[in-house]
Structure 1
Amino acid sequence: MKRSMICRLGLWLTFTLVLLITDSSLQAQGLPSALKPLDEQRISEIVLLLEDQPSGFGQPCTNRKVWDKLLKSGEYDLFLKNMERFSFPAFSKADYFSLSDGSATSSGRGLQMMRDRAKGLSELTWAECLQNKGRYIRQIQEGLKDILAQKSWVSPRNDFKFKNYNSIEYSVELTSALYAHTIAQTLYLLGDKLDSSLKKQAIEALQKRVFDPVLDKIRTQNDSAENRFLQMTNNYNHVCLSGVVGAALAVLEDKKQRAVFTYIGEYYSKNGLEGFGDDGYCSEGVGYYNYGFGHYILLRENIWQATKGKIDLFAIEKVKKIAGFIPGLEIINGVYPAISDSKPGVQPDASIMRYLNRNFGLGLEKYDTVSVLGNTDDNRNDVMMVFPNSSDAKPKRISAPSAPAALRYFFEKTGVLISRPTPGSICQIGVAFKGGNNKEHHNHNDVGSYTIVSGKEIMAGDPGSIPYTADIFTEKFRYTYKTIGSFGHPVPLVAGKQQQAGSQSKAVTIGKDFTTGYDDLVLDIGSAYPESGLQKLHRSMHYDRSGKGIVLVTDDFAFNKAERFESAVITRANWKKTSDSSMVLSQGKEKMLVTFSCPGNQLSVRSEEITEGGAVYSRIGLYTVKPIISGKLTVSYKPL
């Protein structure tokens, strides 16, 4: 089937395939929180913990203590000036169907249009709450009416057979969860400023489009693709639960109903935690950590506030390890590897890190006083962060083992090592060396991949994500993209074969030696090449902190018959070959000498520029000229 035909079928088919693949992996994992009838005893216990009235984040705009303080801070002056010319974003049918009718190659147009409307409602709510003059009420009510009349609240890529658009069946996914919580926060924050009949219509729409579909899923325990977020172990779980539970806590008058959704959040959010390694590692990378775990924070804070701290989703031991993921993953100088579908240059969300730093006492001083003022993109997280919340206690100043100043951080269960220079030394090179497996969330076939940083520049390594297209999540086409398959990563090409997808393709740690002067890690990655004739493939990384530092990556391989072996340097730096066995990389102010050798064998170089819609990068292949039975191919990186 041609890729253009995939577009015309609509991305609902794509996402159905993803859910089917995900479901099979969930069954294999044995989820702790499978679909089951509501636990009435636990719900009765939660009822006793809730207030009589619903509430959301922040305070209604009529409670002026914090709102006036925010207004007087001056941080919102430019926002309010721009809002004087605000026009509510319109719903575009053409954008919504742009993927399915073939006028676009991805769902980006439709998704952006949908989310712009939620953002518009949030910004109007923010403006009215700050000024409290009634100036934006008419626009808010008109915008809300327009959204209530909108045929679908879900992303077009997730509207399976356009059931939502045609009012056949409603489902909860990332965008509809966003709509639900945004609408609910608008109702809560503005209160009696809104027309009572409009508020009633909005709550009825939330019941029909969001609350009832979730309850029906649990009641029927059906196996349809809709509303499967309850069972998923990636960011979907926490994002959707946060929106649904947050909306319920903000608008449902009946305390028992609010207790039901609090229980749903408490119980099913354990599935999202299963997607993280037991060592806290997030295989989706920094970008999706911001998104997915950021929504777990919203869910936690919502339930924490609603129960006055009696239910705390941070009390789970694994969450403490997940909170250390970002400081653990930082290579040096605020640079992170673009693992999985993270974008190059990705950074952790500062407000999330401030919240985690204060709640867990991570000892990260740069986040102690980071400002959370001035953000108005949504009326959920942005409101929660500036109003009193659980992170407002004085931060604990402790020396955390996950702090970036540490010489290394090893996600031992996953097999991911971050090696850093000795503080105060002239060494300014750091490395991320990745084990893992090839069935991770947002997986790239990258077992044995690495990222080399010098100063503040990524000199070589994982290229990160590319823009999503209609077929990028399909089982058939995903790994035909070079940037997602192993070809676009600094990993071997073995007998002309790339790594295979699947959990059986995994790194096994077979040796490690960590000292103050160097770090050594050896991984067996042969299982990623099941049909290559390999007898052995051990990849080792040696990181030396002495002097300016050096990184050596060595592949020790053996075949059952003579084959060609190839390694690769992946870089967005300018590069120039300086000899038969060396090249120089130049990026910003940094220069790095790369040398390569395979003793007893001649290596040759081939290069290719790869973009696939993202930033261009070079794949520089280093391959044995003649087939060989065994050898050791080493690539070294040394700052100049």
Structure 2
Amino acid sequence: MTGMNKIVNKLLTGALALLMCHYAVCTENRNLLQNAATESQVRTSLILNQEWVPYPDYTDREAWSRLTDVVSEQLIAEGEKYLDFEWRVVKATDYIEFERSGSRATMETPFGANSNALSALVLAELCEGKGRFLDQIVNGVWLFSEMSSWALSAHLPGPQRSHRSLPDDSGHVIDLAAGDIGSLLSWTYHFFKASFDEVNPSISHRLLNTLKERILETYMARDDFWWQAFNLKAGAMVNNWNPWCNFNVLACFLLLEDDPEKLAAGVYRTMRSVDAFINYNHSDGACEEGPSYWSHAAGKLYDYLQLLSYATAERITIFHEPIVRNMGEYIARSYVGDGWVVNFADASAKGGGNMSLIYRYGQAVNSTEMQQFAGYLYNRSGKRFSIAVGRDVFRALEAMAGYPGLSITEPALPTFKFAWYAETEFCYLKNEDGLFLAAKGGHNNESHNHNDIGTFSLYIKHIPFFVDAGVGTYTRQTFSNERYSIWTMQSAYHNVPRINGFDQRFGASYRSREVRFDERKMEFSLDIAGAYPSEAKVKQWKRRYRLDGKTVYITDEYRLAEAARPNQLHFLTWAKPDLSIQGEARLTKEGKQATLFYNPNQFSAETEVIELSDPRLTGVWGECIYRLVLKEKKARTKGTYRFRISAL
């Protein structure tokens, strides 16, 4: 096998294995959208000929002035940056670089520069309305019309016949980027068709035909895109790709398709697909991908449902369903404070969320908690409101429309003492002493999975002390069979034990057992033995977390079939542990202190420095984090470990 063939084989076996369908959980066939309307009912409910669009026509300058008042200066200035923009050529070798080095950025950087330019120009012209940006908009439309594909190099190997990262002629691919571009260009067509025709009718004619061929016809003709979930195996994964891509496809259908039969068929097909995402999610509403992905998981579900509601005059809506509300409120409850969030899986520890999106979602599901959390984020920003330049015109327009309500919303953080996601197995505990403890169970094949069953994070007065590092910049290796060669994915770099010399394994069968939450004791417990391979010889490893005042108690009770090697306990910390006193690991960060107490007769302690160079990690933690390793002095087949973390 040649070197390139080996790379292609890795692309296939890895990307298909990790991005596509895995046996993960038992879904509940709610089929909420299909139960809300049949295809025939969709046909009679849809508002035709784009009369549903809630935004003014491009020529209605007074209405646009009112809508964009608070952001027009910003958006016009953003558009002006691109009046002399040199449109970037995405070269063949840019696509191929994904195979050669694993770099995604080589292709995505020029592609993203072009899409950001077009979006900024479109929004600027909608604000100003003088035609000053139209020529560059035409150039952007023409450039994208001439591209072979709008899909990213990292996403092409799976669905293409060649299984390579360079676009081939086996058919168009709809991925996250292709869908985004399709939606962006559809809104561009909707607002500027008449203006394009004044320049040259070929512009809008070609754009419409290109969009129909690449998005509408492709979506109806193919059922093999994994994210569509039309051929879903029992318990298979359906992640944020599903609502994200389906939202874009729905927008294209609603903005471009004037044939009532074809429109109804396309819309109903997206409803069938999105039902698979809702079915996959637990009714508790937790996002297993973490808060960084919420805006493109539950958040994109909201966008999809809002678009569907607009297009049917609210005749088809499921915003009243409890699961939809629960999926929304998860983002508010995962916020710790001062910009820090609970970050399991590939999520970042810093964030908070899109305040406008959270506010509008909260309005739709009648959640005061979400609306007030959005108000908190708005106040925390210094009441600064702006539109992020990106490919999502719908969110930009909706943000403008929702701003008046957001700006007067009472700000507040959620006041819960605990948030218990019994099905997803996330547990958040917090108290008036300023401690916020987050722990998880689950399985090791969740979307954007890390091998982290039983891990925890601890924040004191909003400051992270015991942490989850998150993930570095995405490369080919991130979503391949090499994923778990990356340190951030390994259980050895999460707050869990190494048992008999073995770390946790990847796979849905590696999961927690006997997961419980005791509200009275404020205690979360689980058996993590099932997360380890049979070679670890672990019969039971019951871990308990209890929050009491300024102290967190951690207890491990274990039984092994044999004790081949001493166990190790790992703790990732943001502050450097001071081990000068036996039995104590003292941590100091930003004026706050915490001490982890351990039994020095059981363990020796050492600290490892984890140097960080990836900007996605340094932007959160700085130049390094630390791993505290407690090494068992004598291997035993059964025992109990007790740890205490006290805040000072």
Q: How would you bin the TM-score normalised by the shorter chain?
A: 0.7 to 0.9
CA distance in 2, matches of 1:396, 1:72: 19
Residue 51 (structure 2) pairs with residue 51 (structure 1): no
Which residue does 1:463 correspond to in 2?
469
Provide closer, same or farther for how the CA distance between residues 337 and 631 of structure 1 changes in structure 2, counting only shifts above 3 A: same
Aligned AA for 1:462? D
The equivalences for 1:61-80 within 5 A come to 61-73=58-70, 75-80=71-76
Alpha-carbon spacing, 1:630–1:612, altered in 2? closer, same or farther (3 Å): farther
Asked if the contact 1:56–1:188 (Cα under 8 Å) also holds between the matched residues in 2, the reply is no
Contact 1:500 1:528 (C-alpha < 8 Å) held by counterparts: yes
Residue number among 521, 525, 537 corresponding to 2:524 in the alignment: 521
Matches within 5 A, 1:504-543: 504-515=509-520, 519-531=522-534, 532-543=536-547
Corresponding position of 2:91: 93
- 2:422 maps to what in 1? 412
The answer on 1:380 being equivalent to 2:384 is no
In structure 2, relative to structure 1, the CA distance for the partners of 1:60 and 1:373 (3 Å cut) is farther
User: For 1:180-216, what per-residue CA distance to the aligned partner results, in whole angstroms no more than 9, with x for missing partners?
Assistant: 1000011112241122332121111112111112111
Pick closer, same or farther for the CA change 1:177–1:68 going to 2, 3 Å.
Answer: same
For residues 6 and 596 of structure 2, the distance between their equivalents in structure 1, rounded to whole angstroms, comes to 42
1:18 and 2:24 aligned: no
Who is 1:135 aligned against? 132
- Aligned partner of 1:355 in structure 2 is 360
Amino acid at match of 2:149: S
Return the alpha-carbon distance in structure 2 between the equivalents of residues 261 and 506 of structure 1. Answer: 38
How big is the shift at 1:552? 1.7
Aligned partner of 1:192 in structure 2 is 194
- 1:552 aligns to what? 553
Q: Are the aligned partners of 2:356 and 2:406 in contact in 1 as well (CA < 8 Å)?
A: no
The CA distance in 1 between the partners of 2:635 and 2:589, in whole Å, is 34
Q: Deviations over 1:259-282 (max 9, x none)?
A: 122212222101122342221111
In the TM superposition, what whole-angstrom CA distance separates every residue of 1:540-584 from its partner, at most 9, and x where no partner exists?
Answer: 001012xxx111222111222234111111012233213121121
Distance of aligned partners of 1:133 and 1:224 in 2 relative to their CA distance in 1, 3 Å threshold: closer
Is the CA contact 2:227–2:242 (under 8 Å) kept in the aligned structure 1? no
Cα distance change on mapping 1:101 and 1:558 into 2, 3 Å: closer
Instruction: Report deviation, 1:117.
Output: 2.0
Map residues 158-307 of structure 1 onto 2, 5 A cutoff.
158-160=155-157, 161=162, 162=164, 165-195=167-197, 196-218=201-223, 223=224, 233-307=238-312
Match of 1:183, as an amino acid?
L
| Alignment correspondent of 2:508 | 503
Change (3 A) 1:587 1:354: same
1:430 aligns with 2:436: yes
TM-score (norm 2): 0.87
CA contact (8 A) 1:552 1:636 kept: yes
Aligned to 2:107: 110
2-structure distance, mates of 1:117, 1:363 = 39
Q: 1:331 to 1:208 in 2, by over 3 A?
A: same
Distance 1:56 1:3 in 2: 52
Aligned mates of 2:400, 2:603 — CA distance in 1: 62
Q: Does residue 626 of the first structure (1) align with residue 626 of the second (2)? A: no
**Aligned equivalents of 1:226, 1:437: Cα separation in 2:** 21
Q: What amino acid is the match of 1:165?
A: P
**SS in structure 2 at match of 1:125:** helix
Take 2:105 and 2:471, find their aligned partners in 1: how far apart are those partners? Answer: 15
| Partner Cα separation in structure 2 for residue 95 and residue 316 of structure 1 | 48
Decide whether the 8 Å contact of 2:79 with 2:123 is kept in 1: no
Alignment check: 8 A CA contact 2:325 2:365 kept? yes
- Change in 2 beyond 3 A, CA 1:512/1:142: closer
CA contact (8 A) 1:99 1:470 kept: no
CA distance in 1: counterparts of 2:155 and 2:176, whole angstroms: 9
Q: Mean Cα displacement is larger for which, 54-63 or 500-509?
A: 54-63
2:542/2:557 contact within 8 Å kept? yes
**Inter-partner Cα distance in structure 1 for 2:205 and 2:93:** 30
Contact 1:508–1:524, Cα closer than 8 Å, also in 2: yes
Classify the secondary structure of the residue corresponding to 1:495.
coil
Partner-residue secondary structure (3-state), 1:483: helix
Is 1:603 the counterpart of 2:604? The answer is yes
Cα gap change, 1:6/1:331 in structure 2, threshold over 3 Å: closer, same or farther?
farther
Number of aligned residue pairs: give it. Answer: 612
In the TM superposition, what are the counterparts of 1:111-126 in structure 2 within 5 Å?
111-126=108-123
Q: Distance in 1 between matches of 2:515 and 2:304?
A: 39
Unmatched segments (≥5 aa) in structure 2 = 379-383, 619-623
For 1:585 and 1:282, the matched residues in 2 are separated by 31
Q: Counterpart of 1:342 in 2: which secondary structure?
A: coil
Q: Is the 8 A contact 1:363 1:397 kept in 2?
A: no
Letter in 1 for 2:357: I
Pick closer, same or farther for the CA change 1:387–1:191 going to 2, 3 Å: farther
Counterpart of 1:113, as a letter, is: P
Shift of residue 229 of structure 1?
Answer: 8.1
Task: Give the 3-state SS of the residue equivalent to 1:558 in structure 2.
Answer: strand
What amino acid does structure 2 have at the position aligned with 1:554?
T
- Secondary structure at the aligned position of 2:136 is classed as helix
| Whole-Å separation in 2 of the counterparts to 1:358 and 1:622 | 48
Where in structure 1 are there 5+ consecutive unaligned residues? none
Give the residue type in structure 2 aligned to 1:233: V
From 584, 594, 597, give the equivalent of 2:596: 594
Offset, 1:288: 0.9
CA deviation string 1:15-52 (max 9, x = no partner): 23335xx33427x7468499xxx99x933321211223
Distance of aligned partners of 1:344 and 1:250 in 2 relative to their CA distance in 1, 3 Å threshold:
same
2:381 maps to none
Q: Which amino acid aligns with 1:269?
A: V
Distance 1:572 1:298, change over 3 A: same
Residue 88 of structure 1 and its aligned partner are, at CA, apart by: 5.1
Q: 2:530 & 2:67 partners in 1: Cα distance?
A: 56
Secondary structure of the 1:561 match is: coil
Matches within 5 A, 1:339-354: 339-354=344-359
One-letter amino acid of the structure 2 residue matched with residue 617 of structure 1: I
| Structure 2 residue 453 is the aligned partner of structure 1 residue 453 | no
Q: How many Å separate the matches in 1 of 2:453 and 2:165?
A: 39
Which secondary structure state, in structure 1, belongs to the residue aligned with residue 428 of structure 2?
A: strand
- TM-score normalized by structure 1? 0.88
Change (3 A) 1:322 1:230: farther
Partner SS, residue 92 of structure 1: coil
Give the Cα separation in 2 of the matches to 1:247 and 1:175: 14
Residue 9 of structure 1, CA deviation: 6.6
In structure 1, what is the Cα distance between the partners aligned to 2:291 and 2:215?
29
Change (3 A) 1:266 1:537: same
Aligned mates of 2:524, 2:69 — CA distance in 1: 54
State the distance in 1 between where 2:66 and 2:93 align: 40
Letter in 2 for 1:544: D
RMSD of Structure 2 on Structure 1 (CA):
3.1
Secondary structure class of the residue paired with 1:553: strand
Decide whether aligned partners of structure 1 residues 488 and 3 sit closer, same or farther in structure 2, where only a CA change above 3 A counts. farther
Q: State whether residues 513 and 519 of structure 1, in contact with CA within 8 Å, keep that contact through their aligned partners in structure 2.
A: yes
Question: Using a 3 Å threshold, how does the CA distance of structure 1 residues 58 and 238 change in structure 2: closer, same or farther?
Answer: same
User: Does the CA-based 8 Å contact 1:507-1:523 persist in structure 2?
Assistant: yes
Contact 2:153 2:166 in 1 (8 A): no
State the 1:346 CA deviation.
2.9
Cα displacement string for residues 497-521 of structure 1 (whole angstroms, at most 9, x for unaligned residues)? 0011222222234554323xx5112
- The answer to whether the 8 A contact 2:46-2:311 is kept is yes
